[in-house]
Chains A and B, each alone.
Chain A
């Protein structure tokens, strides 16, 4: 009984707008716009009528696909995924990517469709390229999306960027360094093949369009959004072996 009460209170904790902006990785102005548009309603409280949000609503908004993908990527023992989000092979991923592309076409311009599908395709295929024959436990990727929330999530339980790049760049020390190299230099973990453009391509598209990207590999995480010149790589709270990518695309009609 006690425990139940405690959990309920925790889940319904009230969050100020600044905290919500941080959690959702958007600006306070964006939240005000979403409030006016009814996309994410707040309620006013206190003498000045500040905006507050229920934590449970924010968790819902953050969408289950984020949670499921992170749980799957983090779990020490493999979790069985629903077949609708699990792409064991590249062919399955290609088919679902094309379905996503066609759904996005209904609400968005060809420019947005083309670029969002390209970066999702590049990230998903990177997972297959770098882990072929070397998957630690589960082959394939998590791929899901929420058109309503303008979000695409991809994850793998592969070796991660640090392990694959360290083979060709032995001086690399940790995931943060490896992530920086992957997003800034033309290099491949499959040397002597001439390749390794993928994440530079993703970065170029994100910073030049109304998109944002959360990317984690190992214990390194990165937030990237339109207009960012520098890479803000931080230590993540929890570690994953493979990669996790969340693409948000705004600027839709």
Chain B
């Protein structure tokens, strides 16, 4: 499945909105089959921060591990956020 992050907004900065996105998306995530790849598409996202990402991408990564693929990560704040989360 593909998760279009821009559907949650294009300025993704706060922890509560990241957590809200994660919770709201649970019904969809619960329907994913056991070997399905999850593509996270950052296309259209203008601003991302570690606060938002830590509430959405971190639990997604913990739940689905290597089945998660990140696409269109060329936005500078997306790159900087992913770099910080990888160090964590």
Contacts and interface: CB of A to CB of B under 8 A. Distances in A.
Interface of A: 90, 94, 97-98, 101, 110-111, 113-115, 117-118, 121-122, 125-126, 128-129, 186, 194-195, 197-198, 200-201, 204-205
Interface in B3-38: 11, 13-17
Interface of B: 11, 13-17, 46-51, 54, 58, 75-77, 80-81, 83-85, 87-88
Main secondary structure of the interface of A (DSSP, over half): helix
Contacts of B88: 186, 194, 197
A122 B11 contact: no
B80 to A, nearest CB: 6
A113 B46 CA distance: 8
B16 A118 contact: no
A122 B41 CA distance: 22
A204 B50 contact: no
11 contacts: A98-B11, A101-B11, A114-B76, A118-B49, A121-B14, A121-B47, A122-B50, A129-B15, A194-B58, A201-B50, A205-B80
A197 B87 CA distance: 10
Contacts of A114: 46-47, 75-77
Chain A CB count within 10 A is highest, among B83, B84, B87, B88, for B84
A189 to B, nearest CB: 13
A201 B11 contact: no
A114 B42 CA distance: 13
Nearest to B46: A114
Contact of A121 (B11, B54, B76, B84): B11
A201 B47 contact: no
